[in-house]
Structure 1
Amino acid sequence: MIGTLVVTSVLGKHDTVTLAAFAVVTAVLNPASAAVQGALRGLGPFVAPYRDDPGAAVPIVRDARWLSMAAGTVGALALLCVPLLASLTGVPGEVVREIGPLPYFLAVYLLVFASTGGATTILVALGRSGNVLWPTLAFGTGLGGLTALLVPSLGITGVGIAWAVSGIVSAVVAAITLRRALGRPIGQGKPRIREIVGLAKVSIPLAGTVLIKFGVLGVVTFAASTTSTRDTAAHAVLTTFTGLIMMASLSVAQASVPEVARALDTAGARRANRTAALLAITGTLVVAVLLLGFGEQALVLFSDDPAVRERVLGLLPLMLLASMLDAAQAVQGHGLTALKRSASSLVYFAIGYGLLVLAAVPVARTWGITGLWAAMAVANGLLVVLQGTGFHRHSAKVSTVRAEPAA
């Protein structure tokens, strides 16, 4: 998150059009990388039972690579289509021209990320959450440092180089860390079709869930980009702040997956879920209070354009509401993943975000980005109800869930 904040800050101070172009590209990068990450997070409930015997999870790790590389290839191809997609959706020509070679560098990054085979998810599922720090630290420091160094001379191309190089370094660190945690080489055996299908039944719906979410948020960004260049830049800053706020809730939600997955009864599963929800909301509130208190001073770091800063500051409370509701539903969704019921979460997202994607363009034309953020708050509130109800229903059959194959 710090690396992403540095990128947004450097681009915002470099040029408003450059920041707008970056927002357009990340509207595709976010759903693409989230889909790969979602597929990899589906590993959690399969790896968690091997906490006391990590080496026994190696065959599962090998199976997961086949899924992740397939998802990464599709995402990389989507990134290469960004300039064409931007032109077709009415993004201003100056913004489209500014994109340059950035999609190619990010496509390389995504393929490298997919090749890690879900290292961070596996480490969390095995109770080695502390080890997750090292690959993410390598990526964040590399991304932030190289962006600050390269953007002044290379513009948005510098961001692409920084992203690709940092991704490669992070992948190497992740591979080394995972090898040590498992205690044996991973290698790559022949695909085990039956086992891969079992993983896919949980991973693919989960990937579909995050793809729907970030795909729709990408549509929202494209809708925002049809209003004005300054509003597009403001939307980019608000989206960056949202990622910062969601950091606490997503971290807690992911860490709760093995706890819910190892629960032996309904009470245990619900207790782990309640604890995660409480921690996630508390962390989100802390970050929200800090943003409200220091928002005006923080905005100076992200844009030299007074109009952009004024727009962001006015929309900050609405963005915080949308993020709070998003944090609450995220914990319930990860709880469903732990129960191997990610297909239910997929249905809920199709309902909540399906309504949002239908409303995005008409809302942007009528009420601008203010209406878009209000629409996102409503969609997230609906998901809180749907995901929470779904977890309560499926956790009532937790012992049956443990005995059945993934569904």
Structure 2
Amino acid sequence: MISLLRASVPLLLAMIAGMVGSLIVTSVLGNHDTVTLAAFALVSAVLNPASAAVQGALRGLGPFVAPFRDDPKAAVAVVRDARWLSLATGTLGALVVVCVPLVASVAGVPDEVVREMGVLPWLLAVYLLVFASTGGASTILVALGRSRNVLWPSLAFGVGLGVLTAVLVPRLGLAGAGVAWVVSGSVAAGVAALNLRRAIGRPIGQSRPRVGEIAKLARVSIPLAGTVLIKFGVLAVVTFAASSSGTRDTAAHAVLTTLTGLIMMFSLSVAQVSVPEVARASDAVGARRASRTAALLAVMGTVVVAGLLFVLGDSLVAVFTDDPAVLARVVELLPLMLLASALDAVQAVQGFGLTALKRSSASLLFFSIGYGLLVVAAVPVARAWGITGLWTALAVANGLLVVLQGTGFHRHSGRLG
């Protein structure tokens, strides 16, 4: 457990660095101009799931690299294949981002907001391609037991993004934010490439695409990206359903969702570092032990955060809202939110365990079932029981995923050895 905790801390810090950089961007744009912030929010609404899908696809590389931890040079061929796959997924994501102004115009977004986007979609598409060009360096470093090196690219990106946005936006407007993303992403990609080369111990280079091997990577990576998209999409529907419960309940739901995101950063970092441990296990006993340990650690992290929330209570939640009615609603629903988060932490570890066993397609199926039921129930539940019913439905959906993912992991891990 100590080794998993030690390996997960750099990933957690990397996520925090990226989040801080994004918060600075939102703050600077909000103080610059309301229309500018609205335009950025629309483009980000597409960029975030697109980049999450690319990142999800890259996380599927872990089980292919983990067996080479003791001989990193032997992983070069896999790393080259990973670059081709990541560039393909990154190109698809970039095309989606470029189309945002067109979709916004068709959807009836005000012309001034569409015009304000300017070159931002193109710059963020370039950023997404730069991110994809790393070939999943962070996942590969974690799989090789070098999770500490993951912190530096994220730190470079977060600091660069915050500083450059503050300097460029007052002069260039929204285009300045786009330039900040591209420059910071390029610096982070350079740092990641340097760390990866040092970890492997030789230049990586590039070769012709090995279609068969890339297809093997895709069979694990693409379902994982699909899982991410399903979760993003369904949670967006849940948020839409929450808006039917009134303004204050909608605001309370937004605060609870933000707190959930903060809690899940630790769970996701633990889940990611558990992938190489499960992938390297020689039998079912070792794989299940690694998964249980990671799940226990993820739940312990949720319990620690729960303790802080209950101790600090109103003062902590007040950071997000100064409306007494919203504050009271959030505090009232904290236990339900924490239950949903704890179950989400467990199912995330089990889902990553299936990825480590190269069975991410099974995880995609389970997500389609659990979150498919949630998306069907969201609107009727919100109308009948408000956001209390929605968070109960989220907890039930996550509990169902714990059962499905856990059963699937137990069955597939039984084939090891």
Structure 2: gaps of 5 or more residues? 1-15
How many angstroms does 1:376 deviate by?
Answer: 2.5
Instruction: Name 2:148's counterpart in structure 1.
Output: 130
Are 2:415 and 1:397 aligned? yes
How many angstroms does 1:194 deviate by?
Answer: 1.4
In the alignment, which of 259, 262, 265 is matched to residue 280 of structure 2? 262
- Is the contact made by 1:47 and 1:126 (CA closer than 8 Å) also made in structure 2? yes
Instruction: Name 1:241's counterpart in structure 2.
Output: 259
Instruction: Name 1:59's counterpart in structure 2.
Output: 77
Does 171-180 or 236-245 show the bigger shift? Answer: 236-245
CA pair 350-95 structure 1, distance change in 2 beyond 3 A: farther
In the alignment, which of 353, 374, 395 is matched to residue 377 of structure 1? 395
CA pair 66-312 structure 1, distance change in 2 beyond 3 A: farther
How many angstroms apart in 2 are the aligned matches of 1:298 and 1:157?
35
Instruction: Name 1:207's counterpart in structure 2.
Output: 225
- Is the contact made by 1:47 and 1:57 (CA closer than 8 Å) also made in structure 2? yes
How many angstroms does 1:29 deviate by?
Answer: 3.0
Q: Which amino acid aligns with 2:289?
A: R
Q: Which amino acid aligns with 1:247?
A: M
Coordinate RMSD, CA, aligned: 3.5
How many angstroms apart in 1 are the aligned matches of 2:124 and 2:247?
23
Instruction: Name 1:352's counterpart in structure 2.
Output: 370
Are 2:238 and 1:220 aligned? yes
Structure 1 residues 345-375: Cα deviation after superposition (integer angstroms, max 9, x where no partner) = 1110111111223334455566555544443
How many angstroms does 1:258 deviate by?
Answer: 1.0
In the alignment, which of 88, 96, 100 is matched to residue 117 of structure 2? 100
How many angstroms apart in 2 are the aligned matches of 1:73 and 1:189?
19
Structure 1 residues 140-187: Cα deviation after superposition (integer angstroms, max 9, x where no partner) = 223344455566787766654443332222111111111111111111
How many angstroms apart in 1 are the aligned matches of 2:400 and 2:308?
26
CA pair 6-62 structure 1, distance change in 2 beyond 3 A: closer
- Is the contact made by 1:87 and 1:96 (CA closer than 8 Å) also made in structure 2? no
In the alignment, which of 23, 27, 31 is matched to residue 49 of structure 2? 31
How many angstroms apart in 2 are the aligned matches of 1:38 and 1:215?
15
Instruction: Name 2:3's counterpart in structure 1.
Output: none
Q: Which amino acid aligns with 1:186?
A: I
CA pair 80-35 structure 1, distance change in 2 beyond 3 A: same
Map 1:194-343; keep pairs closer than 5 Å. Answer: 194-223=212-241, 235-294=253-312, 296-299=314-317, 301-302=319-320, 312-313=330-331, 315-343=333-361
How many angstroms apart in 2 are the aligned matches of 1:105 and 1:311?
40
- Is the contact made by 1:17 and 1:94 (CA closer than 8 Å) also made in structure 2? no
How many angstroms apart in 2 are the aligned matches of 1:33 and 1:78?
11
How many angstroms apart in 2 are the aligned matches of 1:197 and 1:263?
24
How many angstroms apart in 2 are the aligned matches of 1:23 and 1:81?
15
Q: Which amino acid aligns with 1:342?
A: S
How many angstroms apart in 2 are the aligned matches of 1:117 and 1:155?
31
- Is the contact made by 1:27 and 1:222 (CA closer than 8 Å) also made in structure 2? no
CA pair 242-123 structure 1, distance change in 2 beyond 3 A: same
Instruction: Name 1:4's counterpart in structure 2.
Output: 19
Does 12-21 or 242-251 show the bigger shift? Answer: 12-21
Does 94-103 or 277-286 show the bigger shift? Answer: 94-103
Q: TM-score, normalised by structure 2?
A: 0.82
CA pair 98-366 structure 1, distance change in 2 beyond 3 A: farther
How many angstroms apart in 2 are the aligned matches of 1:226 and 1:251?
34
Q: Secondary structure at the match of 1:355?
A: helix
CA pair 96-41 structure 1, distance change in 2 beyond 3 A: same
- Is the contact made by 2:18 and 2:155 (CA closer than 8 Å) also made in structure 1? no
Instruction: Name 2:127's counterpart in structure 1.
Output: 109
Q: Which amino acid aligns with 2:117?
A: G
Structure 1 residues 176-212: Cα deviation after superposition (integer angstroms, max 9, x where no partner) = 1111111111112100111111112211222222222
Q: Percent identity?
A: 73
Instruction: Name 1:172's counterpart in structure 2.
Output: 190
How many angstroms apart in 1 are the aligned matches of 2:351 and 2:373?
18
Does 102-111 or 200-209 show the bigger shift? Answer: 102-111
Q: Secondary structure at the match of 1:187?
A: coil
Are 2:156 and 1:141 aligned? no
Q: Secondary structure at the match of 1:398?
A: coil
Does 302-311 or 101-110 show the bigger shift? Answer: 302-311
How many angstroms apart in 2 are the aligned matches of 1:158 and 1:146?
8
CA pair 190-306 structure 1, distance change in 2 beyond 3 A: farther
CA pair 232-6 structure 1, distance change in 2 beyond 3 A: farther
- Is the contact made by 1:24 and 1:221 (CA closer than 8 Å) also made in structure 2? no
How many angstroms apart in 1 are the aligned matches of 2:27 and 2:386?
21
